[in-house]
């Protein structure tokens, strides 16, 4: 598989935070098919340790597979479902989206659509103005149900997970449109690099741990299971776009600061030097309302140099978009970094 193929595969695999077993099993199986040994951590992440020439100082690079999603909060008297959100996003970003309800009791999956209760403009005066919130938003099931008991008879209960239709599209002009490009673009990049290193017999200068995490969207993905020898930690996530942002959809975004504070200055400068030496298009940026697995690791007490970079993602935590140029630049940046000498 190529990186783009992995992106399509991963985005079409449901994995809201807390419901990631299937996608993590896929990652483990895929990595092991390359010839690596993959370890599942107690909280469900996948750790792949690749021996390098230097086994005294290690690197860690991470991407996360968990996504935004929801859970069944309540079953309403008319049989529709009230949601509770998983991850940091707002109800307006999922209005009108198709979804899946993953039933824990019997393993079945049901389809539905996320709508305002007051959707019909022919009936509700406030259809356009009512607040999009937990009270007003609901799931219309694609089943013949008119009461709470009829919905419960399907096996649906409070706590069942809800995933959103990714609607993954790759355009002829090179754009990739999908939910959950955050952070499945990065996971696809790491998978492809692992595959390439094995196929081409590339030995990295330092033993490197590839950590595919599964709890980043709720703040504690790859903040544990960090080997003691790790001194550099690179989170490969997404570059945020918007007003005052330098990030675009065609370059790799190197974060200098996010909501947790500045990233390690010398490591950031090392990445910039590598990008300039290798003619990799990049942008430096600040993500004001953002945290990464690297910042979570720092809060957990990791004594490492930490950095964050990623492809530029438009409309983050909504129906996202990037361009293949940004994916290529990001993959090259990660590859060049992993094959470079450490910061002194």
As annotated, the binding site includes: 64, 182, 217, 237, 317
Q: Which candidate in 30, 97, 138, 216 is catalytic?
A: 216
Q: Catalytic site residue 216?
A: yes
> What is the Cα–Cα distance from 268 to 331, expressed in whole angstroms?
17
Written in H, E and C, the secondary structure of 235-299 is EEEEEECCCCCCCCCCCEEEEEEECCEECCHHHHHHHHHHHHHCCCCEEEEECCCCCCHHHHHHH
Binding residues for Zn(2+): 64, 182, 217, 237, 317
Shortest CA distance to 208 belongs to which of 218, 200, 198? 198
In eight-state DSSP terms, residue 178 is E
Q: Which two tokens stand for residue 47?
A: 């750790």
Please choose, from the candidates 257, 240, 236, the residue with its C-alpha nearest in 3D space to the C-alpha of residue 248: 240
* CA dihedral (87, 174, 336, 269) positive or negative: negative
With beta carbons less than 8 A apart as the criterion, state whether 213 and 183 touch.
Answer: no
Q: How many CA atoms lie within 13 A of 254 on its CB side?
A: 25
Which tokens go with 39?
């370890």
CB 148 within 8 A of CB 81: no
Burial class (CB in 10 A: 0-12, 13-18, 19+), 31: buried
Sign of CA dihedral 32, 166, 180, 71: negative
Residues annotated as part of the active site: 216
């Amino acid at each position: 598989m190529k990186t783009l193929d992995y992106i399509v595969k991963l985005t079409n695999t449901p994995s809201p935070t807390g419901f990631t077993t299937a996608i993590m099993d896929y990652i483990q199986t895929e990595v092991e098919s390359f010839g690596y040994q993959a370890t599942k951590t107690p909280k469900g992440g996948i750790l792949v340790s690749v021996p390098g020439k230097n086994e005294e100082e290690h690197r860690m690079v991470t991407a996360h597979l968990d996504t935004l999603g929801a859970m069944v909060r309540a079953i309403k008297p008319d049989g529709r479902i009230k949601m509770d959100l998983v991850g940091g996003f707002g109800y307006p970003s999922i209005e009108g989206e198709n979804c899946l309800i993953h039933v824990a009791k019997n393993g079945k999956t049901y389809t539905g659509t996320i709508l305002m209760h007051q959707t019909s403009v022919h009936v509700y005066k406030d259809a356009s103005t009512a607040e999009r919130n937990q009270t007003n938003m609901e799931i219309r099931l694609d089943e013949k149900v008119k009461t709470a008991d009829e919905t419960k008879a399907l096996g649906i209960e409070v706590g069942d997970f809800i995933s959103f239709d990714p609607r993954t599209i790759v355009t002829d002009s090179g754009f990739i449109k999908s939910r959950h490009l955050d952070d499945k673009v990065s996971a696809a990049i790491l998978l492809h690099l692992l595959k390439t290193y094995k196929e081409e017999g590339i030995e990295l200068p330092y033993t490197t741990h590839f950590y595919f995490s599964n709890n980043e969207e709720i703040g504690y993905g790859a903040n544990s299971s960090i080997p003691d020898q790790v001194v550099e930690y690179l989170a490969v996530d997404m570059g945020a776009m918007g007003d005052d942002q330098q990030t675009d959809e065609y370059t790799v975004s190197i974060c200098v600061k996010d909501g947790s504070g500045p990233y390690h200055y010398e490591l950031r400068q090392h990445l910039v030097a590598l990008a300039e030496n290798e003619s990799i298009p990049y942008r430096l940026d600040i993500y004001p309302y953002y945290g990464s697995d690297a910042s979570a690791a720092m809060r957990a007490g990791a004594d490492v140099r930490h950095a964050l970079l990623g492809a530029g993602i438009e409309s983050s935590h909504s129906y996202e978009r990037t361009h293949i140029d940004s994916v290529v630049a990001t993959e090259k940046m990660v590859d060049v970094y992993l094959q470079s000498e450490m910061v002194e």
